[in-house]
Amino acid sequence: MKDTRVEVLRKFMDWVKNDPKSIFWLAGMAGTGKTSIAISLCRMLQEDHDVLLGGTFFCSRTANDETRSDPRQIIPTLAALLADQSPKFAAELAAELKPHSGAAAHKPTSQQIDPLFQRPLAALVSETRPIVFVIDALDECASESETSVLLRAIASFTCPARVKFILTSRPETHILGSPISDRVQNELLHLHMIDPEEVTEDIRLYIHRTFDQHSLDGEEWYSNADVHALARLSNGLFIFASTALTYILDTITVEDRKARLQKALLAIKDSKAAIGPLDAMYEFVLTRATTETKVDPDELAKTRQVVACILTARIPLSVTALAELLGQKARVLSASLRRLHAVINVPEDLDQPDLRTLHASFGDYLFERAEPGIRIARSFGDEGLSHGCLQVMATQLYFNVSRSRSSYEVNPSVKAAEPHFITLALKYACLHWVDHVAGLPPSSALDDLINSVFCPRVLFWLEVMSVLEQIQRAATVLVIATSKVYCPI
């Protein structure tokens, strides 16, 4: 069939090997499967000996790494990955960086291309294979202006070696307005423009194979009609199918799976006319999670607050850390999220910092498009985390929290012992309390809390920031704090 996922991947591989253009932009709306295509493509490139996969960068707003949403980290990361594979490139890169002691990696994006890419890549002019770099989900970058700078730099990049860039993103305004959208100079493919029938067939195959892989004792618990119906309801969105499958398969008996499948199909059919398919799926999961008769209303209120905090947290936290920030027990908090496994990743290891939504569109839905009874205000998460950060600092900040041997010398074993003395909750609180306070309207009660908690512990807080090597961040926080008259420092 024309333009199925397999055909798209073949199109990419043909372009890589035969097309003289150096940029291929794959655009698509949220949930259309761009990242899954990028992952499959990287595997194909890695296995093809006629191609050199120079490096990959998967941008993400929800990953447990702030650098994943920083466009200034993309070029240095790709350069480092290629250096690991090519001694020639590594030697040229080292020669470029040596006079500046590696400072090029910390320069603005517009000044990174030449020293980190253009000049070192010239050493690979004799490389017969195309050198491919894949950058996925550029729309997930935190700074639109820096992303635009990066795209202009990539579009103007020239090199005697055969260098190619494969980019994926939603068709956001700042990306559409960049040079990569020039169809004359670059190759473009819009996933949402592919024949809907072809996409629906791909989703049907995906659903069928997933169900087949998760069979229970060989018993049939779904029909071909069920698969077709779920594929149709997906309306071309792979994330819809993925969310539905996670919800349906999060059971251990045939009867439960049958029930969940039929309830999902019925609920989505009833609401599909009023709202979009992905929103309908999210609404269904949330409604099911908040209408179980055995769930206490207070527990539901706490769950709403937890979800709001997960969405507004600056980095993914562990269940343990978030529980500390919210004054809850970790296992109780984990249990309260059990009903939301279809939309929220809840690590089995309570100390693993990977508590996050499975797709960024879930946060967009809850903050912007959900029904009033479901919608969550952004300030709800900021309120919970601002108070939580201050309470954690009140109990965990104290003199010599880093176990330094003296006031002049930090114990060299601190880095290894840091998890014992500086918990993830305390680390997060020290780094981000002011971010959450800034997201709230002025409040005398909050000002009083800041004055009573943070101000008397400024020196202890500075010690933690020093151990975390975040002195520049500390200076910024102090400027904000003093400008808001929180602390007369």
- 489 part of a folded domain: no
If asked whether residues 242 and 361 sit together in one domain, one would say no
Q: Which of 142-146, 213-217, 239-243, 423-427 has the highest mean pLDDT?
A: 423-427
Instruction: Please tell me which residue, 6 or 229, carries the higher pLDDT value.
Output: 229
- Answer yes or no: is pLDDT of 362 > 90: no
Tokens of 182: 């020039």
pLDDT of residue 291: 60
Instruction: Please tell me which residue, 56 or 488, carries the higher pLDDT value.
Output: 56
Buried b (16+ CB within 10 A) or exposed e, 23-50: bbbbbbbbbbbbbebbebbbebbeebee
Confidence of residue 38 (pLDDT cuts 50, 70, 90): very high
The average pLDDT across 452-460 equals 90
If asked whether residues 234 and 248 sit together in one domain, one would say yes
- Answer yes or no: is pLDDT of 418 > 50: no
- Answer yes or no: is pLDDT of 419 > 60: no
If asked whether residues 225 and 359 sit together in one domain, one would say no
pLDDT of residue 479: 82
Tell me the C-alpha distance between 56 and 133, whole Å. Answer: 6
Question: Comparing C-alpha atoms, which of 303, 77, 276, 290 is closest to residue 192?
Answer: 276
Structural domains in the chain (count) = 4
Domain limit, last residue, from 245, 273, 289: 289
Instruction: Please provide the average confidence, as pLDDT, over all residues in the chain.
Output: 84
- 91 part of a folded domain: yes
- 333 part of a folded domain: yes
Percent of all residues in the chain with a pLDDT value above 90, rounded to a whole number = 38
pLDDT of residue 1: 42
If asked whether residues 238 and 354 sit together in one domain, one would say no
C-beta atoms surrounding 197 within 10 Å: 10
The average pLDDT across 364-370 equals 85
115-169 pLDDT tens trace:
899 899 999 999 999 999 999 999 889 889 999 999 999 999 888 899 999 999 9
In the chain, % helix, strand, coil (3-state, to 5) comes to 60, 10, 30
- 211 part of a folded domain: yes
- pTM, two decimal places: 0.62
Confidence of residue 226 (pLDDT cuts 50, 70, 90): very high
pLDDT of residue 299: 64
- Residue 230, phi then psi, degrees to nearest 5: -65, -40
CATH number for position 355: 1.10.10
If asked whether residues 145 and 224 sit together in one domain, one would say no
Alpha-carbon distance values, 165 to 20, 26, 35, 131 (Å): 12, 11, 15, 9
- Report the length, in residues, of the chain: 489
CATH number for position 115: 3.40.50.300
If asked whether residues 164 and 250 sit together in one domain, one would say no
pLDDT of residue 3: 45
Domain limit, last residue, from 376, 410, 427: 376
- Answer yes or no: is pLDDT of 170 > 70: yes
If asked whether residues 177 and 204 sit together in one domain, one would say no
463-473 pLDDT tens trace:
999 888 898 88
If asked whether residues 202 and 267 sit together in one domain, one would say yes
If asked whether residues 476 and 409 sit together in one domain, one would say yes
Beta bridge partners of 55: 133
pLDDT of residue 405: 66
Q: Which of 128-137, 169-178, 393-402, 435-444 has the highest mean pLDDT?
A: 128-137
Decide: 97 and 346 in contact? Cβ < 8 Å: no
Question: Comparing C-alpha atoms, which of 311, 369, 303 is closest to residue 339?
Answer: 303
pLDDT of residue 22: 94
If asked whether residues 245 and 312 sit together in one domain, one would say no
- 440 part of a folded domain: yes
pLDDT of residue 420: 56
The average pLDDT across 218-228 equals 86
If asked whether residues 369 and 432 sit together in one domain, one would say no
Confidence of residue 486 (pLDDT cuts 50, 70, 90): low
- Answer yes or no: is pLDDT of 272 > 60: no
Domain limit, last residue, from 255, 289, 323: 289
pLDDT of residue 364: 83
- 488 part of a folded domain: no
151-166 pLDDT tens trace:
999 999 888 899 999 9
pLDDT of residue 97: 85
pLDDT of residue 428: 95
- 267 part of a folded domain: yes
The average pLDDT across 409-414 equals 49
If asked whether residues 166 and 122 sit together in one domain, one would say yes
Give me the domain span that covers residue 240. Answer: 196-289
71-105 pLDDT tens trace:
999 999 999 999 999 999 999 999 988 776 555 55
- 57 part of a folded domain: yes
pLDDT of residue 433: 93
Confidence of residue 266 (pLDDT cuts 50, 70, 90): confident
